[in-house]
Amino acid sequence: MGKRLGGIFWSLLFLAVPVLGVATFAIAPAYDHWLPKDVSEHGASIDSLFYFILVLTGVVFVVTEGLLFWFMWKYDASKQQGATYIQGSHTLEVVWTIIPAATLLFLAIYQMNAWADVKMRRPAMQPTVEVVGSQFEWRLRYPGRDGTLGTADDLFLVNDLHLPIDEDVLIQLKSMDVLHSFFLPNVRIKQDAVPGMKIPVWFKARETGQYDIVCAELCGWGHYKMKGRVTFESRADFDAWLERKYAEQGATQPPPEAGDVAAAQ
């Protein structure tokens, strides 16, 4: 009797894993524990890919856990059933090798367009802003009124990124010291900043608002505080903000020397 109760307990315990797991995913959005709001043009394709993989793996998870429960229930030790020995099945091994391989191949093909949009189809334009990861802040450099990075009138800021909506944005991403990861959750962008490399990052925001910039790579003792903010605004508001910052920098700092500009590149 004790073995029987023990078998029932463990069977139900393993059944609770898929039940509670699926329930958690079902109620998470209601408690705002889900994907952050998407304000980008390409975010819908990223999210659809995420949901497709989530459903696919979720079905496999539920089926696997269901079979585990069924076998534990059916072959309870208290029933004193004898073991059956088999030599295996070559056909079955081939099938369960081909199915995962075919699934991975399908996913690789299915995501190619989404990958190309954010990693390959770079817009033909000059960088909107340069973002440099540095322990433990995001250093920003906007082109000056001449529209070219690396000249004497460049605008320098820290952790306060402003960008226009409804137009392509090209960020030149760099690292000053160690490996960082530039993460904008609300535009579905995450890109490592690698020392010694200039990495292009592009997207198009479609809604105004203020959102987080975080570092998604452990970069030292102060990693937890390496965060900034990005403000998406209309082109008119963005241009007005730039003019205010140009004026503030010009009033508080002398023009940089040519050697300083070259060192910052």
Mind listing the pLDDT tens digit of every residue in the chain (265 residues)? 555 566 677 778 878 888 888 888 888 888 888 889 999 999 999 999 999 999 998 898 888 888 888 887 777 666 666 667 777 788 888 998 999 999 999 989 988 988 888 889 999 999 999 999 999 999 999 998 888 888 888 999 999 999 999 999 999 999 999 999 999 999 999 999 999 999 999 999 999 999 999 999 999 999 999 999 999 999 999 999 999 999 999 887 765 554 454 444 5
| Nearest-angstrom CA–CA distance, 132 and 138 | 6
So what's the architecture of 129-255 in CATH? Answer: Sandwich (2.60)
Which single residue is written with the structure tokens 């909107």? Answer: 128
Listed residue (221, 171, 224) closest to 193, CA to CA: 171
Cα–Cα distance for residue pair 184/229, rounded to 1 Å: 9
Q: Domain residue spans in the chain?
A: 2-78+92-119, 129-255
How many other C-beta atoms can be found within 10 angstroms of the C-beta atom of residue 36?
A: 14
Write the CA distances from 47 to 42, 52, 53, 111, 189, integer angstroms. 9, 9, 10, 11, 12
Separation of alpha carbons 184 and 190, rounded Å: 6
The pLDDT, as a whole number, for residue 188 is 93
Residue 3: predicted pLDDT = 55
Q: How far apart are CA 238 and CA 205, in angstroms?
A: 13
The first and second tokens of residue 232, run together, are 């998406």
Cα distances (angstroms) measured from residue 127 to each of 17, 166, 260 = 49, 16, 20
CA-angle at 262, arms to 171 and 160, nearest 5°: 35
What pLDDT is recorded for position 82?
Answer: 67
pTM of the model: 0.79
CA distances to 84, 110, 134, 154, 196 from 178, rounded to whole Å, are: 57, 34, 8, 24, 10
- Cβ–Cβ contacts within 10 Å for residue 173, how many? 23
